[in-house]
Every structure is written in C-alpha cells, then in structure tokens.
Amino acid sequence: MVGDAGTAHARWRQIVEDIGRFDARAGRQVQRALDRHDAPLRVQIAGRGGAVRPALRAAVEAAVAASALVDTVELDSPDRPEPVLDADVVLLVLAARAHPADLAALVRPADPAALVHPADLAALVRPADPAALVRPADPAALVTRDDERLVVVLDRTEGLEDAGAAFARAAAHVRRPVLTPDSAPSAVVERLGSARRRRDAVLARDLAGIGAGPRARDVIEAALDELTGSSR
C-alpha cells in the first residue's frame, strides 16, 4: 500500500476517515503517524569547507530525482555551530587534498589517528546518541553505528602516488567501505530505499501500538495487513 504515492495517499486518507468515525482520538494518532511516515526523505552531504564539489551534489540530486531533499552542510565552520547530521542518508565527504594535514595523514600509514581531520571524524559520531559524544582525540570512539544511514566518500585524491592505498587505509580507519565520488549517487539511492523500508516498519509499529475501540481497531488491523503484506 505504500508503493504508488498517489494511490497510497488516497487510501490512507480513507483509512484515517474510517478510523476517525469510530474513534476520533485513534484517528488523530493514525494521522500523526502517517504524517511522520510521509515527511520528505532527506539527504545531507557533509564535509569541511570546500570538500563537497558542486558536481558531486549535482550528481546526487540527479540520482535521487524528486524522491528526497538534498542539502549540503559544512563541518568545522568557524562561523556557525556544528550541524546535526540527522537526515535519512548522510553522505560524508573526506577530502584527501583539502588540507595539508589530511594529505600528510593519508600518505603516512604509521599514524592512523591522524587519517582525517578531527572535524571529519567528529561527524561520524551518531548525533541521536548524546552519550556517544567523545573528544576528537579519541578516534576509536568516533565510528558511527548507523551503518544503514551513512555513506563515506574520499575525494580529491588526484596526485596521490597510491590512491588505492589511501582508500584502503581510510576504510580500515572508519570500519566501513569508503567510496569514490562516482559511486556515491548509486549508494545514496540504495540507502534511501533502506530508509523507506525503515519508515514502513516504524509506521507498522506505530499503528500496532495505537489503542482504539473495537471497530476502529478492525480498520487499523486491516490497514496493517495491507501495509505489511501479511495475513493476520
């Protein structure tokens, strides 16, 4: 039922009306859950100043088309607080040649703690978990657990003597694949698919937890059957 957008919207509108006729409070709860589910998907492209090339953003926007909102956020900016990376998909751009310290770290494998700028590492901390916030000096703790949400790209590797080794060291450090910019758009599209499935699962969970009278509950259960494709 969450497949075709127009059909799904009309069907859900009818479901909310049916539930509201039997139980106004439950109808409002279903509407709020549906509003959260239908909020636009978001993609954040994050990097230090100058790390995110316009061509990369354009490629991502073309790949996602109208299925998500794309925004670029700057890390480690002296003029504004650090952004909260809370989008459905976060594309983190590590620029190998954006800063002399970054370049030195990438060609010096004996110093893994300096692989990327601390601001880049800090962005890997899961923002929804304040308890996980740590000092940038502790790189081992700066690896996110949000595997489904994060895509990491290493850019500006032109001129490195061994770009392949730089990618391998970056991947080992952040404990996840590190992609080339050309691979980023398709990876973002794949993550958006996962985000949609997560939203469907959250909607099903929210609907299952709504208390309602018997007749309204029957409508909710029928909606859950359609949403999950199961026979209850």
Predicted TM-score of the model (pTM): 0.73
Instruction: Find out if CATH 3.40.50 is the number for domain 41-189.
Output: yes
| Residue 218, pLDDT score | 93
Burial class (CB in 10 A: 0-12, 13-18, 19+), 140: exposed
Q: What is the DSSP string of the chain?
A: --SSHHHHHHHHHHHHHHHHHH-HHHHHHHHHHHHHHHSPEEEEEEEETTTS-HHHHHHHHHHHTTSEEEEEEEES-TTSPPPP--SSEEEEEEETTSSHHHHHHHT-TT-GGGSS-HHHHHTTS-TT-GGG---TT-GGG---S-TTTEEEEEE--TT-TTHHHHHHHHHHHHTS-EE-GGGHHHHHHHHHHHHHHHHHHHHHHHHHT----HHHHHHHHHHHHHHHT---
Task: Determine the pLDDT at residue 55.
Answer: 93
pLDDT score of 120: 52
Pairing verdict, β 89-95 and 150-155? parallel
Alpha carbon distance 218, 170 (integer Å)? 52
| Ranges in the chain, pLDDT < 70 | 1-6, 97-147, 230-232
* Cα angle: 110, vertex 106, 53; to 5 degrees: 165
